[in-house]
Amino acid sequence: MEDLLHSIEQKVKPLIGLGKVADYIPALANVDPNQFGIAIYSNNGELYHAGQAYTDFSIQSISKVFSLTLAIKHYGEDMWKRVGREPSGNPFNSLVQLEYEAGVPRNPFINAGALVISDMNQSRFASPHYAMREFIRRLADNPLLNSDKIVASSEYEFRARNASMAYLMKAFGNFENDVEDVLHSYFDNCAMRMNCVDLAKAFSFLANKGYSQLSGEQVLSARETTQVNGLLATSGLYDEAGNFAYRVGLPGKSGVGGGILAIVPNRFSVCVWSPELNKSGNSLAGMAALEALSESIGWSVF
């Protein structure tokens, strides 16, 4: 397996230079674009990696999967009154549907949906970001994980779009807490710094019927796990979810830090990272690497 990962690294590295690092969050624009890492964590507890798999990066929207998991554990089916389960077909930070769909976001992975989920977690925890950080540290089996304060404050400074969505949802009655407080928790979560190995380990429960071998806990039930994987397959890559299903064929979640997490149910979790993004805000080399991986192992959920 490690030979395969090294050959994928060689295959996709020439793509670096064709994308663009995220710069709408100024603190993210400083990252060296010439980086690539990939890590697999199998249900047998085996770890395989290649490239810069131990280099930390900003997990950004991949954090939305942790937030959703925490919310499902507490709210169960009730949460779906406040957020939908349909692909949006729009960019991750789009506002248009919110107005004509009465402040109910299409799914938990677009920014509007993730903000509603953050609002739910805000109602439940005294220190929502610290609850999330503890949860992530436990799942990744890494007590040193932290949020990057410089990235979080840069996101807060340039929060206009996210703040607009949250206030619009508040106007529709779909937001319980103080918007600015929730924005801080959401940005602190997005600004968590992790590497490919941490993320492959932390999300291993999604490949393993909801059970995390690393923390020894049943994080979600087997049924909830298939449901989250279904949402990842239909909405995890926003307006590129169809292209991702076509090219990769796995449940996945991207972040503008250049990470993409993917799940091979009942086998392994994989995280790939390369900072340059395509037009939909998803890692360009990362997509190609996951496509090569699913082709090589001859496996997709479809």
Mark the segment that binds ligand DON (CB under 6 A) among 8-16, 117-125, 177-185, 250-258: 250-258
Written as one letter, the residue type at 158 is F
Torsions phi, psi for 156 (to 5 deg):
-65, -40
Print the binding letters for residues 177-206 with ligand DON: x by CB under 6 A, - otherwise. Answer: -------------x----------------
Neighbour order of strands in the sheet with 146-147: 57-58, 192-194, 146-147
- Identity of the residue, 112 or 211, whose beta carbon is nearer to ligand DON in the bound complex: 112
> With contacts defined by CB under 6 A, how many residues of the chain interact with ligand DON?
13
- Residue 283 found at the interface with ligand DON (CB under 6 A): no
- Residue 254: CB minimum distance to ligand DON, A: 4
- Identity of the residue, 92 or 273, whose beta carbon is nearer to ligand DON in the bound complex: 92
Print the binding letters for residues 46-65 with ligand DON: x by CB under 6 A, - otherwise. Answer: --------------xx----
What is the dihedral sign for C-alpha 125, 62, 93, 103? negative
Query: Which run of H or of E encompasses 49?
Result: strand 47-51
**Strands 192-194 and 57-58, sheet pairing:** antiparallel
In this structure, the number of other CB atoms found within 10 A of the CB of residue 113 comes to 28
Q: With CA atoms as reference, report the closest residue to 206 among 228, 178, 231, 186.
A: 228
Exactly one of 9, 148, 155, 239 binds ligand DON (CB under 6 A); that residue is: 155
Exactly one of 210, 236, 255, 265 binds ligand DON (CB under 6 A); that residue is: 255
Query: Which run of H or of E encompasses 113?
Result: helix 111-124
Exposed/middle/buried for 276, CB within 10 Å: 0-12, 13-18, 19+?
buried
The C-alpha atoms of residue 63 and residue 219 are separated, in whole angstroms, by 16
The C-alpha atoms of residue 128 and residue 117 are separated, in whole angstroms, by 11
Binding site for substrate: which residues?
A: 61, 111, 155, 162, 186, 238, 256
Exactly one of 35, 42, 107, 254 binds ligand DON (CB under 6 A); that residue is: 254
Q: Which two tokens stand for residue 94?
A: 């789009």
- Residue 162 found at the interface with ligand DON (CB under 6 A): yes
Binding site: which residues?
A: 61, 111, 155, 162, 186, 238, 256
- Residue 255: CB minimum distance to ligand DON, A: 4
User: CB within 8 A of 217, min separation 6: which ones?
Assistant: 138, 211
- Residue 72: CB minimum distance to ligand DON, A: 20
- Identity of the residue, 42 or 68, whose beta carbon is nearer to ligand DON in the bound complex: 68
Instruction: Identify whether the C-beta of residue 282 lies closer than 8 Å to the C-beta of residue 15.
Output: no
Exactly one of 43, 55, 90, 93 binds ligand DON (CB under 6 A); that residue is: 93
- Residue 274 found at the interface with ligand DON (CB under 6 A): no
- Residue 218: CB minimum distance to ligand DON, A: 28
The footprint of ligand DON (CB under 6 A) covers: 60-61, 92-93, 111, 155, 162, 190, 254-256, 281-282
